[in-house]
Amino acid sequence: MAGQSEKITDETEVSTTELATVLGVSARRVQQMAQDGTVPTCRKGFFRLADSVQRYIKFLSDGPMDEEDKKLEKTRRVAETTMKASKATIAKLEAEELKGTMHRSEDVAAMTTDLIYAIRGAMMALPGRLAVDVASANSPAEAAEIIRREVNKAMRELSNYRYDPKKYEERVRERRAWEADSGRDADDG
């Protein structure tokens, strides 16, 4: 606020804390009233003292809200709180996804599909790899052993499949690029 020797005029500016002291409320309440438009700022963090006090008095004298206004205000606050909580949850999940501690179901499904195709490929390759050896087998037991050996070999190869965080990270980045591209396409349209 202006020095003690200066007179208060319509143009006298005060900080949030000074206005809070004059009105007998917290600085946070002054900020809320500024957001609501009850007391407008003249520049960031500063208010015109005379105008703010007059507006605050008018705000108080307008009387309490009727029941309908109270219900609407409560509904607005609940909706605002729900929206903030939802945004926080989404931000947390996105952060976990980027850290690799959580995966989207579509990414897990895609990686599982890749594994299934690898298994399918290994099994589909068996007849071609075994045809000559099994045909030249002297007995059904020998043919069965040849097949068993090759199946075990294929299963050992597949058992080396491991979770690879880099592959999930790659999928997340690809998906995010697709989402960003589709968002730009929608904006362009």
pLDDT averages per 10-residue partition of the chain, 189 residues: 70 94 93 89 92 88 70 87 93 82 82 86 89 92 92 86 79 77 61
Query: pLDDT (tens digit, 9 = 90+) per residue, 53-72?
Result: 999 888 887 766 667 777 88
d(CA 104, CA 132): 45
The single residue listed with the structure tokens 């004059």 is: 22
pTM: 0.42
Q: How many residues does the chain have?
A: 189
Structure tokens at 189: 């349209």
Alpha helices per DSSP H over the chain: 16-23, 27-36, 49-61, 67-99, 105-135, 140-159, 165-188
Output the pLDDT for position 63.
Answer: 63
